[in-house]
Amino acid sequence: MRSEHRPVTGFSVVVLGGTGFLGRRIGAACAADGARVHLVSRSALAVSAAVGPGVSAVGLDLVTASPREIAAVLAAAGADVVVNAAGRAWQADEAQMAAGNAELVEQVVTALAALPGPPVRLVQLGTVHEYGAGAPDAATGEEHEPAPITPYGRTKLQGTRAVLRAREQGVDGVVLRLANVIGAGVPQGSLFGRVAAHLGAAARADARGEKAVELRLPALRAARDLVDAGDVTAAVLAAVTAPEADVAGQVINVGRGTAVPMRGLVDRMITLSGLELPVVEAAEGPGSRTDVAWQCLDVSRAQRLLGWRPLRSLDDSLRELLASVLPPEHLRPGTPLGITADAPAEEGKQS
């Protein structure tokens, strides 16, 4: 069974941040569904030769672009839909995050409001980090008042509010508030990407007969809601074609509805890799935590408005991620990564 959405055949879909971790997946899925796709990013022209049928690349520095420049790109593409997968999360200070996560969104909604003709659907990718602590020991619904405590969460919330305010200007916008996204290609700035990269290096060292370097991590006391990148793509496709009356001006959570302990996640990644690797956690001193200890999303609104639900298990996501970084010999049948588990690993508390 798959999450249902109406085909996007014939749509012109512009993906901002179209060469990034999520943007390129969303673009490929829209093209496979029959849309004409335009990937927009600063590096888009560098990858233009690699795009598939029905996909074009537009080089534009979105952070410095004016609303007029953005509007010109959208008009040239004949955009029916804009998916904003652009933003800054890793290796950026708060000013850089504000530029990529908040000011850029203001520029986009200004450009959309100025376009002639029927409204262009805007699908904005938000984040669970906008909630801050969320509901304690329970699933957090969209009615929960956001109280972000990190620069990333604060700047992404500013972007969400820009989309919701733009409804008054006639902008047809919906915000998908994503749990922590996992899958092949996840940035190394994330815990998942960092661990995967280390396991890849450890596997190559093992193949050379060398001892793997221990995996040193910050204290892993948190539990996080995780969602597969493929499931996120399905939610975006559903939001692209959902009736305006159902989704315009809405915030919709997209997650698995389960809080996964991060130490258990790391241990599961190591088990699936087939490696023996020591893990050293840093001590957590007073005041050392910079984020919340618990994240879990209530995804019932996505089920109701989009006909969407998460389909991929945590093991599915971890296997795809590890397969992208480990040497081929670790993917053979009979090795831990080549064995399909009868049931997923313990994943934490269900909403």
Torsion-angle region of residue 350: left (phi > 0), alpha (psi -120 to 50) or beta? beta
Is 131 a known active-site residue? no
Contact 160, 167 (CB under 8 A): no
Contact 35, 45 (CB under 8 A): no
Burial call 71-85: b when 16+ CB within 10 Å, e when fewer: bebbeebebbbbbbb
Instruction: Name the token pair of 71.
Output: 């509007």
How far is the C-alpha of 217 from the C-alpha of 240, rounded, in Å?
38
- Of 21, 152, 294, 308, the catalytic one is 152
Q: Is the dihedral of CA 87, 89, 91, 92 positive or negative?
A: positive
Q: What does each C-alpha distance from 302 to 130, 167, 306, 338 come to in angstroms?
A: 17, 20, 5, 33
Catalytic (active-site) positions: 152
